């Protein structure tokens, strides 16, 4: 109990805890996907599972996670400055109103699940649609549970109890893995849906003791017109619409993928999950750790502290995401073969998944910055700018997806170029690659727009301050890229590894990545990178970075 109530005072140490937990959770996510592919392969069953997941995930994101990011933490902070009792009265009312609304929405969607599935998976056969409906109805229990849990997470982060909130996503993945290992053998595909519900329950239960210990006392109140509730809705609606646009994009991509060859939905999701493994650990954890402090700095009208925190997080995300992107792109085939080589993936599945993974890796820096830049706007109680940008980029992504899938459906200069760059010359149907490419281009555009408007509207930084750290990271990245190419190819050319074995592929992956990372660190040291100094201080000076 005492362990779970641990408070984290330093931003750097909080980021480290969250990064470690997100990394562990992501690794469990990879294990989850590996177990899924081992049991089902990339075929009808996984297409059904991922399709059933889209709408419950959509509900959880737009109704709850949007509220936490944009409204709950800043408003709770403002109440807490005045009175802890007022702050917890606000939380009680929020829990009651939101929970009631969530239950109502999920019950309606359970009733109309067949219509929903027909819209999100138009390419499915009748039997696949029926199975998707069954799984989706079970999964609609998940957003109700996660809704409560996520509100609790937001409050605990205000009290700097990042450790217990960091463990919650780990418990979520453990619940899904339990479903794969124990429920599926007895119940079949419905066992996957029950595993999702179990994961949501574990996500909630691990946080309740720390939440109660923080001083919360439940009150039976239901005041929709409460000033705090109205302010929450005011800030939440633009954010939720923006998130809803993003999730709607995922639904449209799933619908498009359902019309492609069997397994396309699974290829897209597995590559996307794997590519975001490390960058999410960095960007989500850092943004989550710094958001309450940025919100507090804004409440105190301390612009210098606000700007310092933003610039520190921005440069760290770039510094860490650049080597990750390079490593994943150059070693994409090795990564897929090591993680999924002994599962039911065919050689065609492996090559397509690796190609999508490589494309996703090129936009990882942008995905990381989107997390930070969005939260920067939310900390200033501005949710409209990110929402409008999200709407615009979603329309752009849908258009790009349709266009690129069409261009990859026949022989032309663009399709030949994609085949050549991704080494897919002998693969005839690569249309799913167009979905990954559209996603990456859109992420870069969205991050650029957010950065532009953050500079214009918030006036919190000068471009030159970002350019210096970015240039140093890019120089180190270019040298790293050349080193990794040299090491990767030399291991094969001099017959130092046997690529016909899993061990040989693993050694090529590890040795090449290690050489690249060492080179990146060395060049950053020579260039006197401030980010490298911050990371060094984090580990060697007892969490000194504030």
Question: Alpha carbon of 65 to those of 72, 176, 240, 441, 446: distances in Å?
Answer: 10, 20, 8, 25, 19
CA count, 13 A, side-chain hemisphere, 283: 25
pLDDT, tens only, 148-181 = 888 888 888 777 777 788 788 889 999 999 999 9
pLDDT at position 542 is 43
Reading the block at residue 542, the tokens are 């007892």
Whole-number Å distance between alpha carbons of 420 and 266: 24
| pLDDT band, very low/low/confident/very high, at 419 (cuts 50, 70, 90) | very high
Residue 123 class from Cβ within 10 Å (0-12 exposed, 13-18 middle, 19+ buried)?
middle
| pLDDT at 480 exceeding the cut of 60 | yes
List, for residues 371-382, the tens digit of each pLDDT value: 888 888 878 877
238-297 per-position pLDDT tens digit:
767 766 777 788 888 999 999 998 889 999 989 988 888 766 767 777 776 777 778 777
Q: Could you report the per-residue pLDDT of 73-117, keeping only the tens digit for each?
A: 778 878 887 888 888 888 888 889 888 988 999 999 999 999 999
Q: Quick: pLDDT tens for 32-74.
A: 888 988 888 888 899 999 999 888 988 877 766 655 555 677 7
Q: pLDDT confidence of 544, banded at 50, 70, 90?
A: very low
Q: pLDDT by residue (tens digit) across 326-348?
A: 999 999 999 998 888 766 778 88
The pLDDT of residue 8 is above 70? no
Structure letter (DSSP) for residue 410: S
Rounded Cα–Cα distance for residues 471 and 435 (Å): 30
164 contacts 5 by C-beta, under 8 angstroms: yes
Report the pLDDT value the prediction gives residue 312, as an integer from 0 to 100: 80
Angle at 161 (CA atoms; ends 157, 163), nearest 5 degrees: 110
Q: What is the 3-state secondary structure (H, E, C) of 77-128?
A: HHHHHHCHHHHHHHHHHHHHHHHHHHHHHHHHHHHCHHHHHHHHCCCCCHHH
**Span 457-475, pLDDT tens digits:** 776 666 666 778 888 999 9
Question: Looking at 214-218, 282-286, 467-471, 508-512, which range is the least confident one?
Answer: 282-286
3-state secondary structure 337-401: HHHHCCCCCCHHHHHHHHHHHHHHHCCHHHHHHHHHHHHHHHHCCCCHHHHHHHHHHHHHHHHHH
Distance separating alpha carbons of residues 346 and 367, to the nearest angstrom: 30
Cα within 13 Å of Cα(540), Cβ side: 6
CB atoms within 10 A of CB 205: 13
Give the span between the Cα atoms of 14 and 20, in whole angstroms.
10
Of 367-376, 379-388, 478-487, give the lowest mean pLDDT range: 379-388
CA 171 from centre of chain: 17
Burial 347-386 (b: 16+ CB within 10 A, else e): ebbbbbbbbbbbbbbbbbbbbbbbbbbbbbbbbbbbbebb
In angstroms and rounded to an integer, the radius of gyration of the C-alpha atoms of the chain is 23
**Residue 44 token pair:** 């009808």
Q: Is the pLDDT of residue 543 over 50?
A: no
In this structure, what token pair is assigned to residue 470? 């970015």
Sign of CA dihedral 275, 281, 286, 291: positive
pLDDT at 545: 41
- Residues 430-438, mean pLDDT to the nearest whole number: 95
- How many Å apart are CA 89 and CA 221, to the nearest integer? 8
Output the pTM of the full model.
0.79
Contact 232, 72 (CB under 8 A): yes
CB distance 179 to 195 below 8 Å = yes
């Amino acid at each position: 109990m005492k362990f779970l109530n641990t408070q984290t005072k330093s931003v750097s140490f909080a980021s480290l805890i969250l990064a470690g937990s997100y990394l562990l959770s992501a690794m469990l996510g990879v294990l989850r996907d590996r177990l899924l592919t081992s049991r089902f392969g990339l075929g009808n069953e996984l297409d059904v599972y991922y399709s059933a997941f889209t709408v419950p995930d959509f509900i959880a994101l737009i109704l709850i996670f949007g509220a936490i990011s944009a409204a709950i933490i800043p408003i709770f902070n403002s109440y807490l400055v005045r009175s802890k009792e007022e702050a917890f009265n606000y939380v009680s009312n929020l829990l009651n109103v939101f929970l009631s609304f969530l239950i109502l929405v999920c019950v309606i969607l359970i009733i109309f699940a067949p219509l929903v599935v027909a819209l999100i998976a138009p390419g499915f056969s009748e039997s696949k649609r029926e199975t998707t409906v069954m799984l989706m109805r079970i999964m609609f229990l998940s957003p109700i549970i996660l809704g409560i849990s996520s509100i609790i997470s937001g409050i605990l982060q205000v009290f700097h109890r990042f450790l217990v909130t960091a463990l919650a996503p780990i418990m979520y993945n453990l619940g899904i893995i339990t479903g794969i290992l124990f429920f599926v053998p007895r119940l079949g595909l419905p066992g996957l849906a029950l595993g999702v519900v179990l994961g949501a329950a574990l996500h909630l239960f691990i946080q309740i003791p720390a939440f109660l210990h923080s001083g919360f006392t439940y009150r039976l109140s239901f005041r929709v017109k409460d000033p705090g509730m109205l302010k929450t809705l005011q800030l939440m609606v633009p954010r939720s619409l923006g998130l809803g646009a993003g999730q709607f994009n995922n639904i449209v991509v799933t619908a498009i993928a359902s019309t492609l060859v069997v397994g396309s939905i699974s290829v897209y999701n597995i590559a996307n999950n794997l590519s975001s493994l490390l960058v999410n650990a960095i960007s989500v954890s850092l943004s989550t750790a710094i958001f309450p402090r940025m919100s507090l700095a804004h409440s105190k009208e301390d612009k210098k502290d606000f700007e310092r925190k933003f610039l520190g997080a921005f440069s760290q995300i770039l510094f860490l995401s650049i080597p990750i992107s390079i490593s994943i792109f150059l070693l994409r085939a090795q990564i897929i073969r090591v993680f999924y080589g002994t599962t039911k993936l065919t050689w065609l599945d492996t090559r397509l998944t690796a190609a999508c993974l490589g494309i996703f890796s090129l936009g990882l820096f942008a995905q990381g910055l989107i997390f930070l830049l969005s939260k920067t706007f939310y900390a200033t109680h501005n949710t409209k700018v990110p929402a409008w940008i999200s709407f615009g980029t979603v329309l752009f992504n849908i258009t790009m997806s349709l266009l690129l899938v069409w261009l990859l459906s026949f022989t032309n200069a663009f399709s030949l170029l994609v085949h050549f760059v991704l080494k897919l010359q002998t693969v005839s149907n690569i249309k799913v690659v167009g979905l990954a490419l559209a996603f990456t281009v859109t992420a870069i555009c969205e991050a650029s727009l957010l950065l532009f408007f953050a500079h214009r509207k918030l006036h919190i930084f000068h471009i030159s301050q970002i350019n210096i750290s970015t240039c140093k990271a890019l120089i180190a990245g270019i040298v790293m890229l050349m080193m990794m190419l040299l090491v990767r190819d030399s291991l094969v050319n001099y017959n130092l590894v046997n690529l016909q074995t899993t061990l040989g592929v693993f050694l090529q992956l590890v040795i090449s990545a290690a050489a690249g990372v060492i080179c990146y660190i060395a060049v950053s040291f020579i260039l006197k990178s401030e980010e490298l100094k911050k990371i060094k201080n984090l580990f060697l000076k007892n969490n000194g970075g504030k």
